[in-house]
Amino acid sequence: MVRFIFRRFAGMLVTMFFVSIMVFSIMELPPGDYADRYAYRKFSGASIGQVTEADLRNIRHKFGLDRPWYQRYFSWIWGIASRFDFGPAFAFETSVNRVIGQRLWLSLAIMFSTLIVTYMISIPIGIYAAVHRHSIADYSLTVFSYLGLALPNFLLGLVLLYIAVTVFGSSVGGFFSPGLDKAPWSFAKAVDLLKHLFVPAVVLAWSATALQAQTMRATMLDEINKLSVTTARARGLPEWKLLLKYPARLAINPVAGSIGFDINRIFSDLPIVALVLGLPELGELLIKSYLDLDMYVAGAILLLITFIIIFLNFLSDILLAVLDPRIKLEGG
Amino acid sequence: MTTSTKIPQEIGTVAVTAEESEKALRYYSATQWQLMWWRFKHHRVALAAGSVLVFMAFLGLFAGFLAPYAGVIRDRECLLGPPQMPRFWDENGFSLRPFVHGVKTERHPVTLRLVPTTDTSVRRYIHFFVHSDSYKLLGLFETDLHLFGVEDGFIHLFGTDEMGRDLFSRLLFATGTSLSIGVLGVLISFVLALIIGGVAGYSGGWVDYGIQRFTEIVRVVPAIPLYMGLAAAFPREWSTEQVYFAMTLILGLVGWPTLARRIRGALLSLRNENYVIAARLAGAGAYRIISRHLLPAFASYIIVDLVISFPYMILSETALSFVGLGLRPPAMSWGVLLQGAQNIRTIQQALWLFIPAAFVVIAVLAFTVLGDGVRDAADPYTVSRA
For chain A, the first-to-last Cα distance in angstroms comes to 12
* pLDDT band with cut points at 50, 70 and 90 for residue A180: low
Q: Which of B219, B229, B354 sits opposite A298 (nearest CB)?
A: B229
In the prediction, which pLDDT does A93 show? 66
Q: What is the pLDDT of residues A258-297, one digit of tens each?
A: 888 888 888 888 888 888 888 888 888 888 888 877 777 8
Q: Which residue of A has its CA nearest to B311?
A: A150
Contact indicator for A203, A156 with CB cutoff of 8 Å: yes
DSSP A231-253: HHHHTT--HHHHHIIIIIHHHHH
Q: What is the pLDDT of residues A236-252, one digit of tens each?
A: 888 777 778 777 877 77
Residue B313: its H or E element: helix B295-322
ipTM score: 0.79
What's the gap in Å between the CA of B232 and the closest CA on chain A?
6
In the prediction, which pLDDT does B386 show? 37
The DSSP bridge pattern shows strands B93-107 and B114-137 to be antiparallel
Compute the average pLDDT of residues B343-367. Answer: 82
In the prediction, which pLDDT does B1 show? 40
Say what percent of chain A tops pLDDT 90: 0
What's the gap in Å between the CA of B148 and the closest CA on chain A?
32
Task: Please tell me if residue B365 touches chain A, with a CB cutoff of 8 Å.
Answer: yes
Q: Mark which residues 234-253 of B lie under 8 Å from A by CB.
A: 235
Q: What is the pLDDT of residues B310-354, one digit of tens each?
A: 888 888 888 888 888 878 777 788 888 888 777 777 777 777 888
Task: Please tell me if residue A220 touches chain B, with a CB cutoff of 8 Å.
Answer: no
In the prediction, which pLDDT does A326 show? 66
Task: Please tell me if residue A308 touches chain B, with a CB cutoff of 8 Å.
Answer: no
Compute the mean pLDDT over every residue in chain B, rounded to the nearest whole number: 78
- φ/ψ bin of A143: left (φ > 0), alpha (ψ from -120 to 50), beta (otherwise): alpha
Contact indicator for B169, B149 with CB cutoff of 8 Å: no
Q: What is the pLDDT of residues B110-138, one digit of tens each?
A: 776 777 777 777 777 777 777 777 777 76
Q: Mark which residues 165-184 of A lie under 8 Å from B by CB.
A: 165-166, 171
Provide CB contacts within 8 A for B189, sequence distance 6+: B251, B252, B253, B254, B255, B256, B259, B309, B313
Q: Determine, for residues B365 and A272 on separate chains, whether the beta-carbon distance falls below 8 Å.
A: no
pTM confidence score:
0.79
In the prediction, which pLDDT does A331 show? 45
Choice among A59-68, A142-151, A166-175, A246-255 with the minimum mean pLDDT? A166-175
Task: Give the whole-angstrom CA distance, residue B114 versus residue B112.
Answer: 7
In the prediction, which pLDDT does B304 show? 79
Q: Determine, for residues A290 and B315 on separate chains, whether the beta-carbon distance falls below 8 Å.
A: no
Tell me the chain A residues in contact with residue B311 when contact means C-beta distances shorter than 8 Å: 149-150
Q: Determine, for residues B225 and A151 on separate chains, whether the beta-carbon distance falls below 8 Å.
A: no
Say what percent of chain B tops pLDDT 70: 92
Task: Give the whole-angstrom CA distance, residue B386 versus residue B377.
Answer: 11
In the prediction, which pLDDT does B2 show? 43
Higher pLDDT, B136 or B57: B57
Choice among A23-27, A131-135, B9-13 with the minimum mean pLDDT? B9-13
Compute the average pLDDT of residues B1-20. Answer: 54
In the prediction, which pLDDT does B9 show? 52
Q: Is the pLDDT of residue A47 over 60?
A: no
The DSSP bridge pattern shows strands B93-107 and B87-90 to be antiparallel
Task: Please tell me if residue B364 touches chain A, with a CB cutoff of 8 Å.
Answer: yes
Query: Which range among A50-54, A176-180, B8-12, B127-131 has the greatest average pLDDT?
Result: B127-131
Under DSSP, the state recorded for B160 is B
In the prediction, which pLDDT does B213 show? 83
Task: Please tell me if residue B56 touches chain A, with a CB cutoff of 8 Å.
Answer: no
Handedness of CA B41, B42, B44, B49 (dihedral sign): negative
Task: Give the whole-angstrom CA distance, residue B29 versus residue A78.
Answer: 67
The DSSP bridge pattern shows strands B87-90 and A88-89 to be unpaired
Choice among A8-17, A153-162, B28-37, B179-188 with the minimum mean pLDDT? B28-37
In the prediction, which pLDDT does B279 show? 86
Q: What is the pLDDT of residues A71-89, one digit of tens each?
A: 778 877 887 777 777 777 6
In the prediction, which pLDDT does B3 show? 44
In the prediction, which pLDDT does A170 show? 61
Task: Please tell me if residue B311 touches chain A, with a CB cutoff of 8 Å.
Answer: yes
* pLDDT band with cut points at 50, 70 and 90 for residue A174: low
Q: Is the pLDDT of residue A325 over 80?
A: no
In the prediction, which pLDDT does B383 show? 47
Q: What domains sit in chain A, N to C, each tagged with a CATH number?
A: 105-291 (1.10.3720.10)
Compute the mean pLDDT over every residue in chain A, rounded to the nearest whole number: 78
* pLDDT band with cut points at 50, 70 and 90 for residue B14: low
